[in-house]
Amino acid sequence: MSDGPLLVVENLRKSFGDNEVLRGVSLSCEKAEVVCVIGPSGSGKSTLLHCINHLEAPDSGTIVVADQLIGYEPRRGHLVALKDRDTARQRRDIGMVFQRFNLFPHLTVLDNVTLAPRLARGVAKREADEIGMKMLASVGLSNRRDSFARELSGGQQQRVAIARALAMGPKLILFDEPTSALDPELVGEVLKVMRDLAEEGMTMVVVTHELQFAREVANTVVFMDDGVVVERGRPEEVLLNPKADRTRLFIARLVGDGKEK
Amino acid sequence: MGSGAPLKLVARRHPGYWISGVIVVALLGALVWGFARGNIDWGIVPHYIVSGVIIKGFEKTLLIAALAMILGLVLGTCFAVMRLSNNPVMSAVAWLYVWAFRGTPVLVQLLIWFNLPLVFPSIGIPGLFHVQTVQLITPFLAALLGLGINEGAYLTEIIRGGILSVDSGQTLAAKAHGLSSRQTLAKIILPQAMPAILPTIGNEAIGMLKMSSLAAVIGYMELLESAESIYYVNARVMELLFVASFWYLVATSVTSVGQYYLERHFGRSQVRRRSLADRVLRSLLSKNKARTKEALTSE
């Protein structure tokens, strides 16, 4: 692998009907870097994440993860969409954690974690269970291996979802507002797990409204609004001394909300 | 109000319940009395219920209903997936199938399958094999195709509905973790669609048991056709229709009970907490005594 950034997004555009959600977004993320993406809802942050692992196909622009062009291959001067199977293979290196957890409700906690390694990587059940238990231990939930998602709190469910993403041994994990659906008292346990991950050197792109987390954990903060990157930089620059008016307004509003709670 | 002993709470009386109840029971009694005194020889009904021809017919009813239901489930699953496919040709063909077979009476379909030899006197692959269609399309095969393909059209819609009822986030999560479309369908979507689909499939199975009686018109010797074959000879029409009804009721009742347990198995374990007995059994099976104790004491 080259020494370049692990993730490079270049000039990404995506529309849903007449609504242009991404209007030329570029972004890069070094290995072991934590990039926090903040911005008002509807600014295209989630769509950006969905494009990175090709859950949404972009209209134009390119995404490269670990030197691999995602979702397309160059052929005779065009970029041709990959086969379903090849896209699935690429996704195995990119973990994803959803706002609403999206655990598989018909499976136990351990099976949630081991399903993808077994099906997508062909790991034997026994070995997968071992990896799974290790991942559950890392999020502090080894004792819930036989539970079902509905028996867990939101915070526990999200920690299982993180373990599920980790079990595939991803090079990069995308977090799509991982704490937005949680009761306030459960946010901390999830952020703690993410903090630990960052310290262990995991490369992470985190869409979040948790400014404190962004300030303390992120290496880079990106502020998006209306489908473009308005501002990017080190957390203390973007969060404490924002240059753009839009950034300043957004942060003031978010901090104001926080005080009311 | 105010001081003194609290007044006792009493339920309101409903004399209307009693009056309407008595009237309905009286009417029902009159009906039973009428049938008991009517021109029916009840004495021979038990005899025919266990007679060889009727039992044989009942077996054939169960056989054709089960096979047609299985054929319907296979077709229904395939066409439901096709209907939801991104490929417009697949989707259109599935739509056409449902449209054609749900839009025509199953009795007509049975007659069409049975009379297929009129269109194709012989079928086969040139140079490989050839069969006379009359010999191929037996009443059994015509009944199986007619009932099964018709059922498949209904089950296509039911299964499609079940698949659509699964949260779209499940597909996202499965794909994001590198599962292929097929794995996502088989391991994530269909298992979760089951609770939504099962009650309706139970109803369809009960419907199929009764609908199989239509195969009588193409000469398949199922329960009704067997009963008819007897009353053509001895003219005990009503007695034998009651005999057939008895066995239909037995089959549909047993199916209802089976449906109840299936639903409880799939439905409840999905939505509610596992029952105490279930948890104790599970932990016993996993041979973990500490957990058993925990399950018992946490209740």
Q: Strand pairing of A203-207 and A172-176?
A: parallel
- DSSP H or E stretch at residue A221: strand A220-225
What residues in B contact A121, CB-CB < 8 Å?
Answer: 178
Nearest partner of A261 among A183, A153, A173, judged by Cα: A183
Interface touch A102/B188, C-beta < 8 Å: no
What is the pLDDT at residue B187?
94
Q: Is pLDDT of A136 > 70?
A: yes
Per the prediction, chain A carries an average pLDDT of: 93
Distance (Å, whole) CA A234 – CA A218: 8
What is the pLDDT at residue A260?
44
Output the six-digit token pair for B147: 């009932």
Distance (Å, whole) CA B264 – CA A40: 45
Bigger pLDDT: B120 vs A102: A102
For A131-163, letters b (16+ CB in 10 Å) and e give bbbebbebbebbebbbbbbeebebbbbbbbbbb
What is the pLDDT at residue B277?
55
What is the pLDDT at residue A2?
58
The residue of chain A with its CA nearest to that of B191 is A106
Q: Is pLDDT of A28 > 90?
A: yes
Res. A257 pLDDT band, cuts 50 70 90? low
Distance (Å, whole) CA B94 – CA B87: 11
All residues at 6 or more sequence positions from A61 whose CB lies less than 8 Å from its CB, including other chains: A9, A10, A11, A12, A13, A22, A24, A25
Output the six-digit token pair for A225: 């609004």
Please tell me the distance in Å from A23's CA to the nearest CA on chain B: 24
What is the pLDDT at residue B196?
85
Q: What is the pLDDT along chain B (299 residues), one digit of tens a residue?
A: 556 788 999 888 888 999 999 999 999 999 999 998 888 899 999 999 999 999 999 999 999 999 999 999 999 999 999 999 989 999 999 999 999 999 999 999 999 999 999 988 888 888 778 888 888 889 999 999 999 999 999 999 999 999 999 999 999 999 999 999 899 999 999 999 988 898 899 999 999 999 999 999 999 999 999 999 999 999 999 999 999 999 999 999 999 998 888 887 776 545 444 455 555 555 555 555 555 555 555 54
Judge residue A123's burial from the number of C-beta atoms within 10 Å of its C-beta, 0-12 exposed, 13-18 middle, 19 or more buried.
Answer: buried
Q: How many CB atoms lie within 10 A of CB B55?
A: 14
Q: In this predicted structure, which of A84-88, A257-261, B11-15, B52-56 has the lowest mean pLDDT?
A: A257-261
Distance (Å, whole) CA A207 – CA A210: 9
Distance (Å, whole) CA B221 – CA B208: 16
Q: Which residue has the tokens 């949260």?
A: B167
Res. A36 pLDDT band, cuts 50 70 90? very high
Bigger pLDDT: A228 vs B285: A228
Q: Is pLDDT of A194 > 80?
A: yes
Q: How open is the CA angle B268-B274-B277, to the nearest 5 degrees?
A: 115
Distance (Å, whole) CA B273 – CA A151: 8
Mean pLDDT of A24-30: 95
Interface touch A115/B187, C-beta < 8 Å: yes
Torsion from C-alpha of B124, B130, B134, B137, nearest 10 degrees: -50
What residues in B contact A120, CB-CB < 8 Å?
Answer: 177-180, 183
What is the pLDDT at residue B3?
62
What is the pLDDT at residue A254?
86
Interface touch B169/A92, C-beta < 8 Å: no
Confirm if B219 and B225 have CB atoms less than 8 A apart.
yes
Which residue type, as a one-letter code, is found at position B13? R
Q: Could you write out the DSSP letters of every residue in A1-12?
A: --SS-SEEEEEE
Interface touch A146/B282, C-beta < 8 Å: yes
Nearest partner of A163 among A219, A72, A101, judged by Cα: A101
The residue of chain B with its CA nearest to that of A56 is B172
Give the Å distances, CA to CA, from B255 to A28, A160, B71, B157, B162. 61, 40, 18, 22, 21
Which of A53, A104, A150 shows the shortest C-beta gap to B188? A104
What is the pLDDT at residue A261?
41
Q: How many CB atoms lie within 10 A of CB A218?
A: 24
Prediction pTM value: 0.79
Q: Strand pairing of A72-75 and A78-81?
A: antiparallel
